[in-house]
């Protein structure tokens, strides 16, 4: 799943710290580059298990509208002048797209833009529109995004869980705020798995896990206890729809388009 140092436990959750990843420069179309950090799997290889990585766009770079064959979450971090479509990325934003759903464009402004791309199933395909219309063999039904609102830190020993997005097929985005030393049962999870992304503070799971730590909560795993360190913790839990567990994309996932993410 990951060749990096991880913290894993019997609860079915595995975490990788941002500090334990290394940036790699990857060329894309038109001579542009992306800076990638691999957390789970490898976006350049089809490996069993989840595929989660961080992308860095240089200033003024643009990610054109495109689609993938698999369901996908993204977590965009605020950056000066960055946009998703016409929406400013001036706070943390979570985006979800069904497989075969066109989304974007997104663009960096005068500062670099960083975001996580998170998949329960791997793919090599990145298909730009409109030139890849012939590969859109079916149409996904949704693309959604939501800002993570500003909020005051919660008090010591207190836990607050806020559902930011949800659909009747199990897709959900939950925000968990833990005061110093607080704990609670993680929301979400299920048959398709979920990612956890630490936004601020520290999560304790066999080790102290700081901001931009990424966790994978395996499909069907038992309940997961979240516990904050002395600084408290602010994180999001991103649960895939039940349909993501059934890999019905077949060999279409083998035929990758140009690398972007």
pLDDT number for residue 31: 62
Per-position DSSP letters for 22-38, written without gaps between them? -EEEEE-GGG-EEEEEE
Task: Measure Cα distances from 242 to 28, 171, 172 in Å.
Answer: 32, 7, 11
* Domain ranges across the chain: 21-146, 151-243
For the residues 106-132, what does the mean pLDDT come to?
93
pLDDT number for residue 255: 43
Fold of 151-243: Jelly Rolls (2.60.120)
Q: Which bin fits 31, alpha (ψ -120 to 50), beta or left (φ > 0)?
A: left
pLDDT tens-place string over residues 66-90: 999 999 999 999 999 999 999 999 9
21-146 is classed CATH 2.60.120.10: yes
**Topology match between the domains 21-146 and 151-243:** yes
pTM for this one? 0.90
pLDDT number for residue 69: 92
pLDDT at position 257 over 50: no
pLDDT number for residue 247: 45
Q: Are 138 and 102 in contact (CB under 8 A)?
A: no
pLDDT at position 258 over 60: no
pLDDT at position 261 over 70: no
């Amino acid at each position: 799943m990951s060749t990096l140092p991880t913290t894993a436990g019997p609860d079915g959750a595995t975490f990788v710290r941002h500090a334990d990843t290394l940036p790699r420069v990857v060329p894309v179309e038109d001579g542009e580059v992306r800076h990638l950090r691999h957390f789970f799997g490898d976006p350049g290889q089809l490996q069993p298990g989840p595929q989660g990585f961080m992308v860095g766009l240089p200033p003024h770079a643009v990610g054109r509208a495109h689609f993938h064959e698999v369901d996908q979450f993204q977590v965009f971090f605020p950056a000066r002048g960055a946009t998703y479509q016409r929406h400013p990325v001036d706070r943390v934003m979570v985006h979800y797209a069904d497989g075969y759903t066109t989304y974007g464009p997104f663009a960096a402004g005068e500062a670099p833009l960083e975001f996580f791309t998170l998949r329960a199933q791997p793919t090599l395909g990145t298909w730009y529109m409109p030139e890849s219309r012939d590969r859109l063999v079916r149409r996904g039904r949704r693309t959604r995004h939501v800002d993570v609102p500003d909020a005051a830190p919660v008090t010591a020993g207190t836990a607050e869980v806020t559902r930011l997005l949800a659909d009747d097929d199990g897709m959900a985005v939950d925000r968990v705020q833990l005061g110093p030393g607080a704990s609670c049962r993680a929301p979400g999870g299920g048959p398709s798995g979920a990612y956890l992304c630490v936004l601020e503070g520290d999560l304790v799971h066999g080790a102290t896990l700081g901001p931009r730590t990424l966790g994978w909560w395996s499909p069907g795993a038992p309940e997961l206890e979240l516990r904050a360190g002395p600084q408290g913790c602010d994180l999001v839990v991103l649960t895939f729809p039940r349909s993501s567990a059934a890999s019905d994309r077949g060999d279409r996932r083998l035929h990758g388009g140009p690398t972007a993410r």
